Chain A
Amino acid sequence: MIRFLYADQLHQFPALEDSMFCDRAAQFRERHNWDVAVDERGWERDEYDELNPLYLIWEDANGRHAGSMRALPTTGRTMVNEHFLDITGGVRIVSPLIWECTRFCLAPGASPLVAGGLLLGCLEAAMRFGVQQAVGVFDARMPRIYGRIGHSPDVIGTSDDDRGAISVGIWTVSEEIRRIVSTRSGVPVELMARWFDASFHAGGGLEMVAAA
């Protein structure tokens, strides 16, 4: 299942947190050979993990990470605006209607469901909150994977310097795209909606107060 967790909630799921940051090290440093920092725990973390981002994490049956991505509002600090303006033609992408989604990561041997499920989760959250687009930073090899799950980003540009082949792209949110990704990924829209509600419901007693 997918959990939608803010950084300040991760400590409630220690195995999930540990395996996510370790899998990020395996993907970004080892497989993609990006110049990323890995700490003594073996976690790949960067400055944007400090901004209390929202993570979408696919949790496997053992409570461990199978795949994840990280979302931040573009009205605050973002990786694209701080590091990749040369790729976006100098345009600072800033709008409450646009999120930045980065660190799309799959655990080694993750089920094919996971990548599609994560994109579907991102679409679900965006549609619930009124967000229209997402800008992403990803390895230039990723669009092939995204294409298979029915939601290729429009690649704005790709760097070809010592940062490696890193692309910036735009995903657009729509009901139609959600339907396609749901069909291709095999994760029903209704199921994703339940997962979303499970993450965002504190089970808080407002109804009880209102009824009293």
Chain B
Amino acid sequence: MERLPTTTSFDDLQIWAHELRDCLGVAHIVYHTGNIKGEQVGAFTYDIEWVRRYIERDFAQYDPVVLGAIRRFTPMDWKTLDWSAPQARQLMREAAAAGVGNQGWSVPIWGPAGEFAVFTVNHNASDAEWQTFIGHRAKDILLISHLVHQQAKRILNSETEAATAELSPREKEALIQLSQGQSRAAVADTLHISENTLRAYIDSARHKLGAMNVKHAVALALARGIIVPRGALPKY
């Protein structure tokens, strides 16, 4: 995951997708956008011939994953989708022959500009194994899916750095205090909020910064000058 923010091209993101696949120990990782700026882009571990065929045959218009994702915001287990249409069954048969696993978990991603993408983790597993895996990983997958999307947009816009996140004074204050090594309990106390509220504030800041976790969020906010540690000398 540490390497994700350093990717600068879709080729690079493609390599990262393979690393993530190995890290999660699954068969495939797939990320693809709907149209952003008239382009459809992605990063995947599927066989390139399969992806070509999928596009050539225009399988997207029958794909229950795509059809489901455009009407949902909650992650979808492939088993809960309707594969009964003949085209959908044909798609699944050909996918299986191309090495696509029998289990899938796809996260619809709706961006702030109304843009749309799907992130999928695919695997070969029994229903019971898959249920256990998703039970452990649902949160990570949700988190990763949005981070990949943020990174893909950065690559599309040729940004060398993430745009400055708009953090409210209270989010900045929370990050500053955390950067000084204060405990969450102490920070919540100073801000006169509960620890659960603090958690929501910090997680919002983390998301806006495109960070993987709180520590990373603090580091990014410091590096980009969004927060300045108290007692630091002014920079001229």
Interface residue? A140 (CB, 8 A)? no
- B203 with A98: CB separation less than 8 A: yes
Interface size class of B (residues with CB under 8 A): 35 or more
Known: A91-B168, A205-B89. A210 touches B80 (CB 8 A): no
- B83 with A91: CB separation less than 8 A: no
Interface residue? A135 (CB, 8 A)? yes
**Contact among B143, B169, B171, B193 for A156, CB-based, below 8 A:** B193
Interface of B is mostly: helix
Known: A94-B207, A207-B79, A212-B93. A130 touches B197 (CB 8 A): no
Report the nearest B residue to A134, measured CB to CB: B200
Q: Mark B59-72, 1 if CB is under 8 A from A, else 0.
A: 00000100000011
- B93 with A154: CB separation less than 8 A: no
B11 to chain A, nearest CB (A): 26
Interface residue? A133 (CB, 8 A)? yes
Known: A97-B142, A125-B74, A204-B79. A91 touches B171 (CB 8 A): yes
- B74 with A201: CB separation less than 8 A: no
Within 8 A of B (CB), among A161-212: 170, 172, 200-210, 212
Within 8 A of B (CB), among A96-141: 96-98, 125, 127-133, 135
A sample of 21 cross-chain residue pairs with beta-carbon separation below 8 angstroms, ordered by A number, consists of A72-B73, A74-B204, A90-B169, A91-B200, A91-B201, A91-B204, A93-B201, A95-B200, A95-B207, A97-B143, A129-B138, A129-B142, A130-B141, A131-B139, A132-B139, A204-B80, A204-B81, A205-B82, A206-B92, A208-B83, A209-B93
B interface, CB within 8 angstroms of A: 64, 71-75, 77-84, 89, 92-93, 96, 102, 110-112, 137-143, 145-146, 166, 168-171, 193-194, 196-197, 199-201, 203-204, 206-208
